[in-house]
Chain A
Amino acid sequence: MSTGTQTILSCRVEQHGDATVVRVAGEIDRWTEDDFAQAVDESMRGRPTRLTVDLRDVTFMGTSGLRVLVEAQHETQRMRIVLGVVPGRGVARRSLEITGLDQMLRVFPTVAEALARA
């Protein structure tokens, strides 16, 4: 029996020129939070000009995931990286709306738009 976090969450970091995209799929909860945070931290390390977090394939996101996004917002501001979030139309959008974080983060409908306008 496997209880590895990778069974419910996957994070892939992609390079697009001087921009970085973190593609997240699965469930972000109190168990997988650290993996998500680690992927986001890693993606900042190369000091990209833009960092986009793609949450369209996220099937659950509680306050653990929201907390990682808020911390990323602080950290990217400090490092002068422009952070963009692509919540999609599912549960990630809902979690951001309920907490009002959709007003605090730069939210884009697609990754392409985040990369073009961020």
Chain B
Amino acid sequence: MLDDTEAEVSRSTAALHAWAEQLPEPVCEAVMSADAASPVLFRAVPAVRHELSPLRAAVTEWAQGFGFDRDTLADLVLAVDEAVTNAIEHGYRNQPAGIVRFFAGHSPVEKAVNVVVADSGSWRPPPSEPGVRGRGLSIIRAVTDRFDLHHGEHGTVALLSWKLPGEGAGGPAG
């Protein structure tokens, strides 16, 4: 049993690293720095709207145990949902069977948790008059400690990071 589990873990670690190597350099680094001993989520999510709720549930469960307060946990789930929603409704607007690659892990080096949302769709230039739209990216920017958005020929990759509690940008406390 244990051997099976270990084999499984190393297989999925290999898959994770193979995927990470195709990502933009800074995002690849964030994924590679994930601590294998901490819980990691690595999923291929079909780009359909009813996948959002179960993914939020998984993220909520994964995010427990890092010591985040209630508001930060809510912010994290909110921002992740916006990024995945964008991949589904914008990135794959022309493709019915897209896959959103999703990663969430803890980086001991960065003292942060990192979430990566990647689609292989196509970037849509934001409308100049967004009307009642256009709040998703600004929410993500507002509630994350780091937000990198890379879009190119092969789709869009978003990296969302939160410093662990007590690891503010001002350096180590005490």
Task: Indicate whether A99 reaches chain B with its CB closer than 8 angstroms.
Answer: yes
The contact sample of 12 A-B pairs, CB cut-off 8 A, is A3-B50, A5-B50, A29-B85, A30-B49, A31-B53, A60-B53, A60-B78, A62-B85, A63-B139, A71-B132, A94-B75, A98-B142
Considering the complex, give the chain B residue whose CB is closest to the CB of A60.
B56
A-B residue pair count with CB separations less than 8 angstroms: 59
Interface flags, A24-63, vs B, CB<8A=1, else 0: 0001011100000000000000000000000000001011
Give the contacting residue for B135; candidates A5, A63, A90; CB below 8 A: A63
Give the contacting residue for A29; candidates B49, B75, B138, B143; CB below 8 A: B49
B-side interface size class: 20 to 34
Provide the bound-state CA to CA distance between A29 and B143, in Å: 18
* Number of residues on chain A facing chain B (CB within 8 A): 21
Q: Which residues of A contact B135 (CB under 8 A)?
A: 63, 66-67, 99
Give the contacting residue for B53; candidates A8, A63, A91, A98; CB below 8 A: A8
Provide the bound-state CA to CA distance between A63 and B75, in Å: 12
**Which residues of chain A in 57-108 are interfacial with respect to chain B, using CB atoms and an 8 Å cutoff?**
60, 62-64, 66-67, 70-71, 90-91, 94-95, 98-99
Provide the bound-state CA to CA distance between A64 and B77, in Å: 14
B71 near A94: Cβ-Cβ < 8 Å:
yes
A98 near B89: Cβ-Cβ < 8 Å:
no
Task: Indicate whether B81 reaches chain A with its CB closer than 8 angstroms.
Answer: yes
**Which residues of chain B in 96-147 are interfacial with respect to chain A, using CB atoms and an 8 Å cutoff?**
132-133, 135-136, 138-139, 142-143
Give the contacting residue for B74; candidates A8, A30, A91; CB below 8 A: A91
A67 near B132: Cβ-Cβ < 8 Å:
yes
- Given A30-B52, A60-B56, A94-B71, check contact A70 B85 (CB 8 Å): no
Task: Indicate whether B88 reaches chain A with its CB closer than 8 angstroms.
Answer: yes
Provide the bound-state CA to CA distance between A8 and B78, in Å: 16
Q: Which residues of A contact B78 (CB under 8 A)?
A: 60, 62, 91, 94-95, 98
Q: Which residues of A contact B50 (CB under 8 A)?
A: 3, 5, 31
B56 near A99: Cβ-Cβ < 8 Å:
no
A62 near B82: Cβ-Cβ < 8 Å:
yes
A29 near B81: Cβ-Cβ < 8 Å:
yes
Interface flags, B144-170, vs A, CB<8A=1, else 0: 000000000000000000000000000
Q: Which residues of B contact A5 (CB under 8 A)?
A: 50
Provide the bound-state CA to CA distance between A79 and B50, in Å: 33
Provide the bound-state CA to CA distance between A64 and B136, in Å: 9
- Given A8-B53, A66-B135, A99-B135, check contact A60 B75 (CB 8 Å): no
Provide the bound-state CA to CA distance between A71 and B136, in Å: 16
Closest Cβ of chain A to B54, distance in Å, is 10
Q: Which residues of B contact A62 (CB under 8 A)?
A: 78, 81-82, 85, 136
